[in-house]
Chains A and B, each alone.
Chain A
Amino acid sequence: MIEAKNLSKKYKDKLVVDNLSFAIQKGKVTGFLGPNGAGKSTTMKLMLGLINGQGETLFNGKKLNSYSKPSSQVGILLEAKAYHPTRTAKQHLKILATEGNIPNKRVSEVLEIVGLNDVAKKGPGKFSLGMSQRLGLAAALLAEPTYLMLDEPANGLDPEGIVWLREFLKNYADNKHGVFVSSHLLSEMSQLADNVVVIGRGKLLANTSMSQFIAGNVASTVYVRVNDLDKLAKILTQKKISYIKKAKGLEVDDLKTDDIGKIAFDNQLQVLELGNKMASLEEAFLEVTAGSEEYQGKVKGKKS
């Protein structure tokens, strides 16, 4: 397990990471979410000791630099284009392998895994963002580390690449590894992560399982469409059941589909559509991070 304890980082007078504590478990993918400028990248760098701050991070109970081979503990992808542009992809990985005391044969293996074998002898200066992400992932995988820490690894990947990455990371976690991944692609994260850590303005907003995060922050509703919508609305009002009109139907809180179906049947209403409307990660994320965005855009004519 990776345990981040009381991490804090101050730039001049601004506290960008504020007493963060959370854990990343083996066998799980942990998503790291937060609005732009929330401090996700800074937190990752703090955990790795790349920047100085308060708190400590333990990798299976020990500090990273106390391992004789830190590369076996954690593989990182913090920036896609972290390579010298004229050094070939293979040379880049060979250098990292040498630095990390990793056998050179792993270089070909990881290039094969990420699908960059054909361009292994090319300088990555002209790589697309997606190819750079793959090279970064190859670098992270070199020592087949216990944990992966990836900052926005899906950025620039095409849809096929995103699906591949999702399956790969899930598989990696299933093989008794831990994956800590930040992303702003919420729909992608909802399919990938088992647990979620959410921060805003450097503070911990949530640290829970993905399902609990969504269920706990956005109420699931039932959507119903009947032949006489006004009649149903009147009945729900009488029963003091809250609802909102949406499209040609009603979104009803606090009731199950069975209950709505019974109400409709009892009042001789013809049900045209009835189903659960599941809350999305996006809704839960927006609910939790409301007001903690560092940078906010404005839509003309819309009151905030």
Chain B
Amino acid sequence: MINQLKAELRKILSVRSSYVIMAISTFFVVLINFYVVGWHSTKLDVLSPSFLTNQDLQTISFIAIFPAIISILLVTHEFRYNTIDYSLTLSRSRSRVLLAKLLVVSFVSLILIAFFGAISPLLGILALHLNHVNFVHQHYAFGPMIWHILYYGWAYSIIALFLAFLIRNQIGSVVTLLIFPTIEGILSIWFKQNTVYLPFSALHKVLGAGQNVSSSTLSPSSAALVALGYLVILGGLSWILFIKRDSS
């Protein structure tokens, strides 16, 4: 199993697209936090004690798509270039292939999200400092922030991974990942406060940065459980189909 984990990690680190995506996501983190939020903030903007918290959460809610795309590419490249035949022949079981990808995607997404989550407020503080803007004493709850951010980033990447296993097509998987939150937004017309029980809305509620969840009373922990339920269902479906379907 260790070898398979190493191989999956190598697959991510040996393609140009992974580095391009990491570079783009870092660029956006710098642009949003240093330039847009930090450099262009006025004294009125920084009167809120949750200024840095909101900045961090909003950044993560946007930037989580990039590790998710890396996880999609890890799977869809295998089908696109037919290297899946090698992976399945070299491994003793298909479940191991899926599990190895799941663990490596978890590792990579947690590392990236932790990195972005850490540098986002630092970049904001730096820009404000350089711009000679002093903000009020900030309330930044480290413990909850860490698990909210890490859980959100991890779950987003795992949803993407399972979608990739189900759809197998690069563009199809990315489009599905992007379109689902929009569909949930439309569904909120009928679901109203129950929208929070839909997968992406629940996930946004974990972060507390969702668009459709403001009226909900679901706590982040409960929302994380709801999201986990969807992950288990999606994961189970992906696993069954990955075992039953032909390799190509």
Give me the interface of A with B, judged by CB distance under 8 Å. Answer: 45, 48-52, 64-65, 67-68, 70-71, 74, 76, 78-79, 81-88, 91, 94-96, 98-101, 139
Closest Cβ neighbor of B93 among chain A residues? A65
Beyond A50-B246, A50-B247, A52-B246, whether A76 also contacts B86 by CB under 8 A is: yes
Q: Is the CB of B89 within 8 A of A85?
A: no
Identify B86's interface contact among A45, A85, A99, CB under 8 A. Answer: A99
Report whether B77 and A74 are in contact in the complex, using a CB–CB cutoff of 8 Å: no
Closest 8 CB pairs of A and B: A51-B246, A50-B247, A99-B7, A98-B7, A82-B82, A100-B90, A99-B90, A91-B14
30 A-B Cβ contacts within 8 A?
Answer: A45-B247, A50-B85, A50-B89, A51-B247, A52-B244, A52-B246, A65-B92, A70-B90, A70-B92, A74-B89, A79-B82, A82-B82, A82-B85, A83-B81, A84-B77, A84-B81, A87-B14, A87-B15, A88-B14, A95-B10, A95-B14, A96-B86, A98-B3, A98-B6, A98-B10, A99-B7, A99-B87, A99-B90, A99-B91, A100-B3
CB distance from B115 to the nearest CB of A (A): 24
Please report which residues of chain B, range 81-102, place their CB below 8 angstroms from some CB of chain A when the two chains form the complex.
81-83, 85-93
Q: A50-B246, A74-B89, A85-B81 are in contact. List 20 more A-B contacts (CB 8 A).
A: A45-B85, A48-B89, A50-B248, A52-B246, A68-B92, A70-B89, A70-B91, A71-B90, A79-B85, A81-B81, A82-B83, A84-B14, A84-B83, A86-B15, A88-B14, A91-B14, A94-B10, A98-B3, A99-B87, A139-B86
**A100 vs B3: C-alpha distance when bound (angstroms):** 8
What's the nearest-Cβ distance from chain A to residue B6, in Å?
Answer: 5
Chain A-chain B contacts (Cβ-Cβ < 8 Å), number = 83
B41 within 8 A of A: no
Report the Cα distance A188→B226, complex, angstroms. 61
Minimum Cβ distance to chain A for residue B78 (Å): 9
Which listed residue (A51, A52, A83, A101) contacts B83, Cβ 8 A? A83
Tell me the smallest distance from the CB of A120 to a CB of chain B, in Å. Answer: 14
Q: Mark B204-248, 1 if CB is under 8 A from A, else 0.
A: 000000000000000000000000000000000000000011111
Residues of B within 8 A of A (CB): 3-4, 6-7, 10-11, 14-17, 77, 81-83, 85-93, 244-248
Do residues A76 and B10 form an inter-chain contact, with CB atoms below 8 A?
A: no
Bound form: Cα–Cα A86–B244 in Å:
30
> Least Cβ distance of A67 to chain B in Å?
7
Minimal beta-carbon separation of B234 from chain A (angstroms): 22
Q: Which one of A50, A74, A91 lies within 8 Å of B10 (CB-CB)?
A: A91
Query: What B residues does A85 contact at CB under 8 A?
Result: 81
Is the pair B85, A86 in contact by a Cβ cutoff of 8 Å? no
Complex: A254 Cα to B82 Cα, angstroms = 51
CA–CA, A85 to B17, complex, Å?
A: 11
- In Å, the complex CA distance between A98 and B4 comes to 7
Residues of chain B within 8 A of A52, CB atoms compared: 244-246
**Which residues of the other chain, B, contact A98 by a CB distance below 8 angstroms?**
3, 6-7, 10
A125's nearest neighbour on chain B, judged by CB, is B81
A51 vs B93: C-alpha distance when bound (angstroms): 13
Which of A67, A70, A71, A84 has the largest count of B CB atoms less than 10 A from its CB?
A84
A45-B247, A74-B89, A79-B85 given; A84·B10 CB < 8 A: no
A49 to B246, CA, bound (A): 9
Nearest Cβ on chain B to A177's Cβ, whole angstroms: 17
CB distance from A138 to the nearest CB of B (A): 12
When chains A and B are docked, how far (Å) is the Cα of A84 from the Cα of B12?
Answer: 11
CA distance A95 to B245 in the complex (A): 24
Q: How far is the CA of A52 from the CA of B240 in the complex (A)?
A: 13
A137 CB to nearest chain B CB (Å): 13
| Residues from chain B with Cβ under 8 Å of A79 in the complex | 82, 85
Return chain B residues, CB-CB under 8 Å to A67. 92
Inside 8 A of A84's CB, which chain B residues have their CB? 14-15, 77, 81, 83
